[in-house]
Structure 1
Amino acid sequence: MKIMVLSSYAPTLFLFREDMMNAMLENGHQVIAAAPEPEEEWESKFKKRNIKYVSIKGIERTGANPIKDIKGFFSILKAIKREKPDKIIAYQAKTIAYGCIAAKILNVNEIYALMGGLGSIIRNKNKKSLARNILKAEYKIAFKSCNKVFFQNKDDCNEAVGTGLIKNEKIVMINGSGVNLEKFTKKQIPAKPVFLFIGRILKDKGVIEYIKAAETVKERYPEARIQILGSFDTNPTAIKEEYIYKYVNEGLIEYLGSTNDVRPYLEKCQVFVLPSYHEGTSKSMLEAMATGRPIITTDAPGCREPVINEGNGFLVPVSNVEKLAEKMIWMIEHQDKVEEMGRESLKICREKYDVKKVNDVILKTMDLKKVRKNQNVI
């Protein structure tokens, strides 16, 4: 079988879907990765993994230019027509919307979508929002084109069904993207209090609340280190660099930049913090759990699922700076519990979020059985 994996951003396709694509390769199928970034930049990187890479020019992950979106749609259409995949799986908003529709037009045998999360546009309750209404209409057509759609949490699933985007029988639930437990392993927790946020620097990720909570924590415990690891973004809820560096210069937080390997940073932290407003299921959170870190996150879609409150961490209300700071201080004052909660995180990961278990569900749903020893040639 020839499988095309569509994404609106090559770096996340390369890093976050590697295990899924490897599972397809190991079962003897050919994989084609498609994203907007240039082939000269990404072709060789994917080739090393025995994956063909094609560029679908024109798709802008966060852009709202209809002319560019139309060009992007035709670029996807052209790539599918040229590569002739047997099956397509798309993830991220624009490639789900345009990719699934394009695949249906070209009579691709089987079409699947992988929802990382409904996102801020769909969760915007303003019924007059043009962007929301357009995306809802696109999702509805795209989901209708799909054989199955993978959802990562019940909240997104219920929202999609409740607003008429999809019928329940098309939904397959998976436990996030999973985490590679051979790559992310238990690490000793350091003695000093270090809190780490990993993610894009967006308002919707709770970055502002995290910084405000840091002010309270540092007043009581100046030695505590409050760290941010992640990239600045063009998303509508993106936070400007100058806002972050203002607090870096004041010594309140540490900005660590961005990275393709979060493991060294996880190893140096005590507690992982994600005050997000909503997620699909946070991959960074699962990676932190796999290294044996306790979690402080919000009682929100895609955040609450991996956390047992007072078990492997704490759930706090969305946008509640006071409660967030309270739980961060609790971690500092109960060092004996940090290790215990970290062990519980790892246990949950092994039982529920092992990437092999997640990929088994995806491959079984897509009927990608093991056909022969992997001898794929690209």
Structure 2
Amino acid sequence: MKFLMVSSYLPSVLNFRGKLLEAIHQQGYEIHIIAPDLSSFSDEYQKLRSLGYQVYSVPMQRTGTNPVTDLSTVFALYKLIHKIKPDCVLCYTIKPVIYGTLAAWLAKVPKRFALITGLGYAFQNVDQDSTRSIFQKLVHGLYRQALSHCSKTFFQNPDDLALFRALKLLQSNIPAVVVNGSGVNVSDFDVMPLPLNSQNQVAISFLLIARLLGDKGVREYAEAAAIIKKNHPDIQFNLVGWIDDNPTAITQLELDAWVNAGTLKYWGKLSDVRPAIAASSVYVLPSYREGTPRTVLEAMAMGRAVITTDAPGCRETVVDGDNGFLVEVKSIADLVEAMQKFIEQPELAIQMGKRSREIALNKYDVHQVNKHMMTEMGLL
């Protein structure tokens, strides 16, 4: 039996789907992986190969909608999938979901699954009644075609599923399942003590880990930090991430200005985010929309309180007033108010951090999430 995964970014196969592939492999399946740019990720490629997985390269641009290039991607995917002859395929992120699913259908793969991990730029400011751009209509039409050939579609929050149904991107006859994100391997993210000040009390500091995009709320985080620092100059605001090739990306000039002004401490892009989480007492993600944010789950597993938005994907991770606070999307005032609560009552970071760990264990453990997915795919 052969299981195929199609991805647009090889490192995410290990980081986000590694435990799922391991569990499927243990069920006796050969594991096959298709992704672009293998030469750029030799360490990940070698790691996957060392696990006994077959890894194939395919031309695929993560961004852009050049029809000639995308058509060549579909053809290359079809040729590879026809050669591999998998019993089951799982595609995730936009281009693999669209082109991988269509190619798998053309290659007559018996079981075809899509995982919607987040909606991204093609769904920005989109709801059932809103006007959509030509680009958005194109992408949504492609989604509709691809998902019509799925055996089942997985979503990481109920809001995304509801939107796909409302926009008629997912036909009523296609089964859909909501899973608790990608899960987190809680054994890899141990609870770490909160940082202390010179009086041996909890030192409140904040952290955001994200691709440096506008719709991750990076600008709101920086503006809130600047406001807080006027009255509390010693409070540290940490930022981990990188500038991405995306229409909403933060510019290098903006980042440099925040760092040079002392507003943010920039850690760069980290392959291991645990040191940054350990150095911070409260995790902040002011994102406009997510699938289920993995960084929040990792911070929760390490016993950190969370401030995030009352937005799809984000709101599922926080019970307001229990393991953190929910704030309105794009509201700098709300963000400042929530941060101020931790500064005035540092003990909240301890209490809410404990609850975050409990929620991570009970709801987001990666083994539970993977078991749910595998059951729904008929692999158990």
TM-score interval for Structure 1 and Structure 2 normalised by the shorter chain = over 0.9
**Contact 1:39–1:53 (CA<8 Å) still a contact in 2?**
no
TM-score of the pair, normalised by structure 2: 0.94
**Contact 1:38–1:55 (CA<8 Å) still a contact in 2?**
yes
Matched position secondary structure for 1:308: coil
Alpha-carbon distance in structure 2 between the residues aligned to 1:128 and 1:163: 11
The count of residues paired between Structure 1 and Structure 2 equals 368
Gaps of 5+ in 2: 197-202
**Contact 1:43–1:52 (CA<8 Å) still a contact in 2?**
no
Report the Cα offset of residue 128 of structure 1.
4.3
Report the Cα offset of residue 25 of structure 1.
1.3
Once the two structures are superposed, residues 149-176 of structure 1 have per-residue CA deviations (whole angstroms, 9 ceiling, x without a partner) of 0111111011000110113551011011
Alpha-carbon distance in structure 2 between the residues aligned to 1:223 and 1:65: 49
Alpha-carbon distance in structure 2 between the residues aligned to 1:128 and 1:151: 22
**What letter corresponds to residue 378 of structure 2 in structure 1?**
D
Report the Cα offset of residue 341 of structure 1.
0.2
Alpha-carbon distance in structure 1 between the residues aligned to 2:79 and 2:36: 13
Matched position secondary structure for 1:260: coil
Cα-Cα RMSD: 1.3
Once the two structures are superposed, residues 337-372 of structure 1 have per-residue CA deviations (whole angstroms, 9 ceiling, x without a partner) of 110000000111111111111100111111112xxx
Once the two structures are superposed, residues 204-225 of structure 1 have per-residue CA deviations (whole angstroms, 9 ceiling, x without a partner) of 1000000000011111111111
Aligned to 1:165: 169
Aligned to 2:190: 185
Is 1:255 aligned with 2:266? yes
Moved over 4 A (4+): none
Matched position secondary structure for 2:148: helix
Q: Which structure has the higher relative contact order (CA within 8 Å, separation 6+)? A: 1
Alpha-carbon distance in structure 1 between the residues aligned to 2:356 and 2:138: 39
Alpha-carbon distance in structure 1 between the residues aligned to 2:14 and 2:277: 20
Matched position secondary structure for 1:17: helix
**Equivalent runs, 1:49-128 vs 2, <5 Å:** 49-57=51-59, 59-125=60-126, 127-128=131-132
Is 1:340 aligned with 2:351? yes
TM-score of the pair, normalised by structure 1: 0.95
Alpha-carbon distance in structure 2 between the residues aligned to 1:241 and 1:14: 29
Alpha-carbon distance in structure 1 between the residues aligned to 2:74 and 2:229: 49
**Sequence identity, in percent?**
38
Once the two structures are superposed, residues 186-245 of structure 1 have per-residue CA deviations (whole angstroms, 9 ceiling, x without a partner) of 111112222110110000100000000001111111111111101210112111122111
Is 1:244 aligned with 2:255? yes
**What letter corresponds to residue 119 of structure 1 in structure 2?**
G
**Equivalent runs, 1:256-335 vs 2, <5 Å:** 256-335=267-346
Aligned to 1:175: 180
**Equivalent runs, 1:171-250 vs 2, <5 Å:** 171-191=176-196, 192-250=203-261
Alpha-carbon distance in structure 1 between the residues aligned to 2:51 and 2:228: 44
Aligned to 1:45: 47
**Contact 1:231–1:257 (CA<8 Å) still a contact in 2?**
yes
Report the Cα offset of residue 43 of structure 1.
3.0
**What letter corresponds to residue 177 of structure 1 in structure 2?**
S
Once the two structures are superposed, residues 123-146 of structure 1 have per-residue CA deviations (whole angstroms, 9 ceiling, x without a partner) of 443634121111111111111111
Is 1:133 aligned with 2:137? yes
